[in-house]
Amino acid sequence: MAQIILTGSGTFNLPEDWNDADNVIEVYGPGGNGATSGSTSLSGGGGGGGGYQKALNVPLRAFDSAGGIVTDKTYNVAVGSFVAGLWQGFRYEESEPPFDPVYGTLIQGGSGFSGSGIVGGVGGFPFAVINSVNYTNGATNGGTGGSGRSATTAAGGGGGGAAGPNGNGGAGGTNTSTLGTTGRGGGGGNGGTAGSSVSATAGTAGTGAGAGGAGGAANVSGNAGGSSTSVYSGGGGGGAGDGTSGTSGGTGGLYGGGGGGSGSATNSVGGSGQVGIIIITYTPIATGNFFFLF
């Protein structure tokens, strides 16, 4: 088996030995950023975790000979926050107009939305539409970021965990009136549990994924989400504790963990969501010329 790993953004060229009949494309979308409230009376919501999409036996070679489609495939899993209209994943399209919507590929893990004010961001939602056919062979949603709180004593919500092949990402903990100065825990990745909404406790990780980061105590920053060990699903960052010491929400874990929200202070900031990743696995076909001697 051959494997190609794509991060950031760029162009993917179809390998000469690509096998239309035996391949898997997995997209882990990036996580959203935790919100920065910039206020002494509001804390920020956590960012949503990235979604996961698996597409099986995608006939990219067949598409190259149809409708004038080129071999270059563009991809983007670098965005740490959702931007309206921007795709996060693997896209394949015609090179020159007129563009034919019948042909083309979009495999999207889906970016988690960033937190906004006290509201936590929604987790990334996946889909795969290829040559007008749905090639989805497994899809899970990123965990929703936990909400902050409207109060002068308020800590940040936890970031959502990234989705994976074994399940949705765990939601970040939401800040309630209980323990208002303590940030809430981030959600675990890949079917992990949610962060606590009444304490700083983080969500546990699903198989091979990263756990959530614990929320910060008063005047303490949230902890970063755990990174994945085998399935590329990171945990959400913990929310920042309330206070005036310039706390920050925890950064999401690699890959696709959402960032934790800020505390209710003008110098507290939300944590960054983590980038996504694309894993392409295929069985190579024989290439080149063969000569037989008799």
Dump pLDDT digits (tens) for 149-158: 999 899 999 9
How many domains are contained in the chain? Answer: 1
Inside any domain, residue 293: no
Residues of the chain short of pLDDT 70, as ranges, are: 63-73, 79-88, 90-105, 130-132, 288-294
pLDDT reported for residue 203: 98
DSSP bridge pairs for 151: none
pLDDT reported for residue 99: 41
pLDDT reported for residue 51: 92
Distances (CA, A) of 229 to 24, 109, 185, 207: 20, 19, 20, 9
pLDDT reported for residue 77: 79
pLDDT reported for residue 65: 57
Inside any domain, residue 7: yes
**CA dist., res. 140 & res. 25, Å (int):** 14
pLDDT reported for residue 178: 83
Report the predicted TM-score, pTM, of the whole model to 2 decimal places: 0.90
Inside any domain, residue 154: yes
Distances (CA, A) of 183 to 192, 222, 262: 19, 7, 9
pLDDT reported for residue 229: 84
Nearest to 87 by CA among 59, 121, 126: 126
Inside any domain, residue 33: yes
Domain range for 273 is 1-285
pLDDT reported for residue 191: 98
DSSP bridge pairs for 23: 282
Inside any domain, residue 292: no
Distances (CA, A) of 77 to 15, 65, 127: 20, 27, 15
Inside any domain, residue 291: no
Contacts of 32 (CB under 8 A, 6+ apart): 47, 48, 49, 80, 81, 82, 111, 112, 113, 114, 115, 121, 124, 145, 159, 160, 258, 259, 273
Residue 241 token pair: 């504790």
Inside any domain, residue 39: yes
**How confident is the model over 75-111, as pLDDT tens digits?**
777 765 444 445 567 665 544 444 444 445 677 888 8
pLDDT reported for residue 294: 45
Q: 11 exposed, middle or buried (CB, 10 Å; 0-12, 13-18, 19+)?
A: exposed
pLDDT reported for residue 121: 92
